[in-house]
Structure 1
Amino acid sequence: METLTFQFPAAEPGRGRTLVGCVSSGDLEVLIEPGSAGTVQIQVMTSVNGSGARWTQLFQRLFEGHTWPAMNIDIHDFGATPGVVRLRLEQGFEEIAHD
């Protein structure tokens, strides 16, 4: 198991919180909660050691150049592919946009 942390600039905190996915399904779960103003804080717990570069690239494409609400994101990964990770994150963002 490996724990990775990432930070990106953000706007004011969002309002909603959500949980999407289910780690016991062999997929991953994403918990999104309001964060501290100015920061997107991400923590990834992954079963795939040495996957930091993959996560870095995925988050850079998703967060850099966009203004997101400040949020804390916890990801519990069970070896999901980057496409599934992005899908779950987008599902979570859609959920908090409706709160």
Structure 2
Amino acid sequence: METLRFEYLGGTPPAVQAPTLTGVVGSGNLEVLVEAAPGSGSCVIEITTAAVGFGHIWQAVIDDFHARHGLCDLRISVNDVGATPAVVSLRLDQAIETFLGDAA
């Protein structure tokens, strides 16, 4: 297992919402937990993955995610069992959409 942590400063804070969990950890899949972190001024994304040695791929996917959504005051936890970058990107988008609800 490998743990990766990415932090992005600045962005738009969303209205505080209840934590949301999207996806299921299973073969080739992942789950994403999104939680409000009011006043932090950052978006922290922590990934626990069974696919060791792919930090540069994760960096690219997470950079793209933050560039598209530009949110702060969030903590996102990802538990991965080998999902492809496309699945990761889709699941992150689903998690944010679910978290934001009507505010999206």
Using the size of structure 2 for normalisation, the TM-score is: 0.84
Paired residues, what number?
Answer: 99
Unaligned runs of 5+ in 1: none
2:87 maps to 1:84? yes
* C-alpha contact 1:35 1:41 (8 A) present in aligned 2: no
- Matches for 1:11-50 after TM superposition, within 5 Å: 11-12=12-13, 14-16=15-17, 17-37=19-39, 38-50=41-53
Q: 1:65 to 1:93 in 2, by over 3 A?
A: closer
Q: Percent identity?
A: 38
RMSD: 1.8
3-state SS in 2 of match to 1:91: helix
TM-score normalised to the size of structure 1?
0.88
Q: Which moved more, 1:57-66 or 1:45-54?
A: 57-66
Unaligned runs of 5+ in 2: none
8 Å CA contact retained: 2:28, 2:84: no
